[in-house]
Amino acid sequence: MNDHRHPIIAKEGWPFLALAAILAGLSSVYSVYLAIPMWLLFVFVLQFFRDPPRITIEGDDSVSAPADGRVIVIDEVKDPYTNQECLKISIFMNVFNVHSNRIPVSGIVDTKQYHPGRFFNAALDKASDNNERNALLLTTKHGHKVTCVQIAGLIARRILCYVNEGSEVRKGDRFGFIRFGSRVDLYLPKETKTLVSLGDKVVGGETLVAELPMLE
């Protein structure tokens, strides 16, 4: 087991925290009634950008959750990025979840594809095809093909991804961030065994969501 540690507060949040703190501080000078909602806003921003350390269970054939949230889709579909039949697992992140994204399997980033789009509620099925999104097509050391897609939501307007094509990645490593409510889709080989159920709450980098099939 590896402990993938990161700062307790995500680096993506510092500008927002600074602005919220300034507004709260200034409002405290003028009015306690104005200060209370401003400090509540500061606390909200603080909790949104928290980035606690996670311990990832090693294993070449297991798939860890790429994000915190709730499992909203488990279905057999066609992967729109590889055009292959696969198992799809989708995780919805609300504004109270940790929004750091973590690599689901160790391997190589074959392709990185960014698609501009709309900002529908990320919990809706059409978000997978219509919303702004960024897809990583990964190949594991055993040759499995896995697609991990960051999807912007109704409020989220910025997808951040820090890995590039050709990068070697490790399961549980932090690779990106989506601001203010969003979704991550996983497209896995069709014969993959699911380890979670609809409605389950998962922890990014820690919860195992699937087990990849044996390759001949």
Q: What is the pLDDT of residues 74-85, one digit of tens each?
A: 999 999 999 999
- What's the pLDDT score for residue 180? 67
Domain ranges of the chain: 11-48, 59-208
Q: For 98-110, what is each residue's pLDDT tens digit?
A: 888 999 999 999 9
Q: Which residues are catalytic?
A: 182
**pTM to 2 decimals?**
0.84
Residues 6+ apart with CB under 8 A from 159: 114, 132, 133, 134, 150, 151, 152, 176, 178, 182
Q: For 155-186, what is each residue's pLDDT tens digit?
A: 655 788 999 999 999 999 999 988 766 899 99
The CATH architecture that domain 59-208 belongs to is: Distorted Sandwich (2.70)
Q: For 18-44, what is each residue's pLDDT tens digit?
A: 887 888 888 888 888 888 888 888 888
- What's the pLDDT score for residue 4? 42
Rounded distance between C-alpha atoms, residue 148 and residue 158, angstroms: 17
